[in-house]
Amino acid sequence: QVQLVESGGGSVQAGGSLRLSCTVSGLIFDDYAMAWFRQAPGKEREGVSCITWNSLRSYYQDSVKGRFTVSQDNAKNTLYLQMNSLKPEDTAMYYCAAAPSCGGLAWYRYNYWGQGTQVTVSS
């Protein structure tokens, strides 16, 4: 059974930082690209960042470039998202997901999803 479990969300003030983690079990981590998505109330789910299985390439949504950093520890089957200089517009439920490739961060290309962790940024 494949499981993706996110953690690390919380409430911070604007300008603060959070580090999200996603621990994966039940699939061969090295066979998948891993991504972070987010969804704010009333808005569509959007891709935030993706990293290839070998960490050679990473991709970011324009709004988070220079503030967020995606990484992974393949030995621990864990994906991370370091979020700095957080803004109120970053407030959303954050999900990790797995797919054979980053696929342009299109959500419908991702096979496996976690349950999400809430990030709230106050001004």
Q: For residue 103, what pLDDT is reported? A: 84
Decide the pairing of beta strands 10-13 and 117-122. parallel
Mean pLDDT, residues 43-52 taken together: 96
pLDDT exceeds 90 at position 104? no
Mean pLDDT of the chain: 96
Contact 58, 46 (CB under 8 A): no
pLDDT exceeds 90 at position 91? yes
Tens digits of residue pLDDT in 23-47: 999 998 889 999 999 999 999 999 9
Q: For residue 25, what pLDDT is reported? A: 95
**How many helices (H) and strands (E) would you count in the chain?**
0, 11
Tens digits of residue pLDDT in 3-19: 999 999 999 999 999 99
Share above pLDDT 70 across residues of the chain, in percent, rounded to a whole number = 100
Strand ordering across the sheet containing 18-25: 3-7, 18-25, 78-83, 68-73
Mean pLDDT, residues 99-111 taken together: 92
Mean pLDDT, residues 72-96 taken together: 97
